[in-house]
Amino acid sequence: MIDALGYTFMQNAVIVSILGSIACGIIGTLITVNRMSALAGSIAHASFGGLGLAYLAGFNPLIGATGFAVAGAAGIAAISSRKRARTDTAMAAMWATGMASGLVFIKLSGTYSADLMSWLFGSLLAVSTSDIAFAAILDIVILLVITGLYKEFLAVSFDQEFSMLQGVPADLIRGLFLILTALTAVLLMKITGLIMVIAMLSIPAAIAEMFAKSLWKMMILASILAAVFNLAGLSLAWMLDLPPGAVIILIAAFAYAVSLIIANVMSSIK
Amino acid sequence: MKETIRLDGVTAGYRRGNPIIYDIDLTVPKSDFLAIIGPNGGGKTTLLKVILGLLTPWEGTVSVLGESPAKPRPAIGYVPQLIPDESFPITVIDVVLMGRLRNSGLFRRFTRRDREIADMNLDRLDIQDLAGLDMNSLSGGQKQRVLIARALAGNPQILLLDEPVASVDHNTQESFFNLLGELNSTITIVLVTHDVGAVSAHVKNIACINKTLISHGETLSSESVAKAYGCPFELISHGGIPHRVLGSGKESKR
């Protein structure tokens, strides 16, 4: 594994893994405490339509995916602020429409299906410097927003109605949260692939939730866990010649199972 | 100022043509301790939302301390119904500090004074030793006190509580009402509940609501309870805490 670090593609993979874990831990924590993993899933799948369109029209797939993810997040925000009960339907429709339109666009563009597979299952060993730049900028934006508005994010997540009575602009906070979720989902597609984005956004945060006493501690712990899973998965995949995205998810799932057992034992001792 | 909350002919709901509360007139004088009782689905939560300014009435007017409720929200300290979420990672002091959000602002940290006020209110509710604990490790009664401390941290003139005793046991209920009785010396208290048994001796006035206001006064007759709940009740009082039993189906006498 150490000698593999001599290759530029491996260095890039390690850098993106670590940068991705920061976004993943912070946004995954907010998704988990707000019980919104289905929302993250539908945003991620909506972005697939943007990928297809980018291949068809010949522009950067990252831009296409980001555009569709953010548009999808905005759409859900608009629907859910009016009628809460319809959010479920809107998310399900967006999930499927994103996939369907992506498949149609890609077929029309005549793109080789390997490209498609790399988005669905991740392409950690083929990340570019522009991907690294995207990850770094996203981390900075997330860190600035969350540190600046931490008490508002905490209040809206814990008790939205009370926060509104306190004059917190809950719609603005929710909107920011959805847009950051969209951007994080696109970034994670590079690492574990579209299909496994939800797992990466929920498993590290779910483990952290068992052991953390406050939201910011949960964010830090989830980020560390995501980094460990990414790097362990990357090394193991390299040694065994397996797809890194899938190995990362399997390691995360195994750690989740172990944590459930530990948390159960801890609570029975108490 | 004599009256704190005043509703005139308030009709409100969520779907046009299907009002949840209808033509409600209600005045809450200063330093009142009012219990609003009514069955589930009888419009108690809707009434609360209208008073809080979260829901605009279709007809009628609402005023809190002489202004429309959108403006003087800081005058009301809101204690929502306890919803058991066993896993949200948050400490007691961070919950109480939320009551200071209005006095803070975006991109600002809570000041030393905010923290002092939060500590002071934990003290006032006798739960200062819980400050650093995980909210999930507390009992229902302790959580309820934390939510009251949070409401008081904004220094309100009115305390509004939604189903405050729904998730606490009977012994805790008694000490809880003693606490509210003490707070009532400086603050107007309004609580809503579906549980007639939750009305204690500390309560000064009782309003009975099921879509419309059925009665409002110092005492509660079993007729008005029967009317609100759609079935006869008998009210028996021992030790200052009224208990309720379901009537046998005949009209009760009292």
Q: Where are the domains of chain A?
A: 3-198
- For B78, the token pair is 């809101």
pLDDT digits (tens, 9 = 90+) for A90-122: 888 889 999 999 989 988 988 777 777 888 888
A150: exposed, middle or buried (C-beta count within 10 Å: 0-12, 13-18, 19+)? middle
Does B140 map to a domain? no
- Residue among B86, B10, B23, B80 at smallest CA distance from B50: B10
pLDDT: which is higher, B235 or A68: A68
Residues B170 and A139: their CA atoms lie apart, in Å, by: 50
Place of tokens 């060993």: A125
- Side-chain-side CA neighbours of B173 within 13 Å: the count stands at 18
pLDDT at A5 over 80: yes
User: Hey, which residues 213-252 in chain A have their CB within 8 Å of chain B?
Assistant: 213-215, 217-218
For the domain spanning A3-198, the CATH number is: 1.10.3470.10
pLDDT score, position A26: 98
Instruction: Measure CA A65 to chain center.
Output: 13
What is the H or E stretch that residue A143 is in?
Answer: helix A129-148
Cβ pairs A/B, distance under 8 A: 66
pLDDT score, position B221: 67
pLDDT score, position A100: 94
pLDDT score, position A166: 92
User: What DSSP line would sit under B1-60, residue for residue?
Assistant: --EEEEEEEEEEEEETTEEEEEEEEEEEETT-EEEEE--TTSSHHHHHHHHHTSS--SEE
Strands across the sheet with B33-37, in order?
B76-79, B158-162, B188-193, B33-37, B205-210, B212-217
pLDDT score, position B226: 67
Contact indicator for B46, B162 with CB cutoff of 8 Å: no
pLDDT digits (tens, 9 = 90+) for B63-107: 998 888 776 577 899 999 887 667 899 999 999 999 999 989 899
pLDDT score, position B228: 67
Does B207 map to a domain? yes
Please name the residue of chain B whose CA is at the shortest distance from the CA of residue A210: B87
Please name the residue of chain B whose CA is at the shortest distance from the CA of residue A148: B107
pLDDT: which is higher, A80 or B120: B120
pLDDT bracket for residue B189 (50, 70, 90): very high
Residue B78 CB partners (closer than 8 Å, separation 6+): A162, A165, B52, B151, B160, B162
pLDDT score, position A109: 87
Integer angstrom CA distances of residue B62 from B37, B46, B151: 20, 13, 21
pLDDT digits (tens, 9 = 90+) for B217-231: 776 666 666 666 665
Q: Within an 8 Å CB–CB cutoff, is residue A51 touching chain B? A: no
pLDDT bracket for residue B129 (50, 70, 90): very high
B245: helix, strand or coil: strand
pLDDT score, position B140: 86
Contact indicator for B135, B88 with CB cutoff of 8 Å: yes
What is the H or E stretch that residue B192 is in?
Answer: strand B188-193
For the ranges B78-82, B154-158, B240-244, B247-251, the lowest mean pLDDT is seen at B247-251
For the ranges A77-86, B43-52, B82-91, the lowest mean pLDDT is seen at A77-86
pLDDT at B1 over 60: no
pLDDT: which is higher, A29 or B165: A29
pLDDT score, position B243: 41
Contact indicator for A237, A230 with CB cutoff of 8 Å: no
- For B61, the token pair is 């007017």
Q: Which residues of B are less than 8 Å from A266 in CB distance? A: none
The stretch A238-267 carries a mean pLDDT of 94
pLDDT score, position A270: 67
Q: Within an 8 Å CB–CB cutoff, is residue A170 touching chain B? A: no
**Whether B80 and A212 lie within 8 Å, measured CB to CB:** no
Q: Which residues of A are less than 8 Å from B53 in CB distance? A: 165
pLDDT at B185 over 80: yes
User: Which CATH number is B22's domain given?
Assistant: 3.40.50.300
pLDDT score, position B238: 36
Predicted ipTM? 0.89
A200: helix, strand or coil: helix
Does B253 map to a domain? no
Nearest to B106 among A152, A158, A212 (CB): A152
pLDDT at B155 over 70: yes
In this structure, are strands B59-64 and B3-15 parallel, antiparallel, or unpaired? antiparallel
Does B65 map to a domain? yes
- For B201, the token pair is 């001796």
Nearest to A161 among B54, B97, B104 (CB): B54
Contact indicator for A244, A124 with CB cutoff of 8 Å: yes
Q: Which residues of B are less than 8 Å from A157 in CB distance? A: 88
pLDDT at B253 over 80: no
**Whether A154 and B90 lie within 8 Å, measured CB to CB:** yes
Residue A99 CB partners (closer than 8 Å, separation 6+): A45, A48, A49
**Whether A165 and B76 lie within 8 Å, measured CB to CB:** yes
The mean pLDDT value of chain A amounts to: 91
B233: exposed, middle or buried (C-beta count within 10 Å: 0-12, 13-18, 19+)? buried
Does B90 map to a domain? no
Residue B80 CB partners (closer than 8 Å, separation 6+): A159, A161, A162, B147, B162
The mean pLDDT value of chain B amounts to: 83
- Report how many domains make up chain B: 1
- pTM (2 d.p.): 0.90
For the ranges B45-59, B117-131, B166-180, the lowest mean pLDDT is seen at B166-180
Q: Which residues of A are less than 8 Å from B106 in CB distance? A: 148-149, 152, 169
pLDDT digits (tens, 9 = 90+) for A121-178: 888 998 999 999 999 999 999 999 999 999 999 999 999 999 999 999 998 999 999 9
The stretch A168-195 carries a mean pLDDT of 91
User: What DSSP line would sit under B51-66, residue for residue?
Assistant: HHTSS--SEEEEEETT
* Percent of chain B clearing pLDDT 90 (strictly above): 50
Q: Which of B54, B85, B95, B98 to mutate to test the interface with A (most CBs of A within 10 A)?
A: B98
| Domain that residue B217 falls in | 3-83+156-246
Residues B54 and B154: their CA atoms lie apart, in Å, by: 18
Q: Within an 8 Å CB–CB cutoff, is residue A130 touching chain B? A: no
Residue A267: what are its φ and ψ, rounded to 5°? -75, -25
B233: helix, strand or coil: strand
Residue A149 CB partners (closer than 8 Å, separation 6+): A173, A176, B106, B107
A169: exposed, middle or buried (C-beta count within 10 Å: 0-12, 13-18, 19+)? middle
Residues A192 and A122: their CA atoms lie apart, in Å, by: 4
pLDDT at A182 over 60: yes
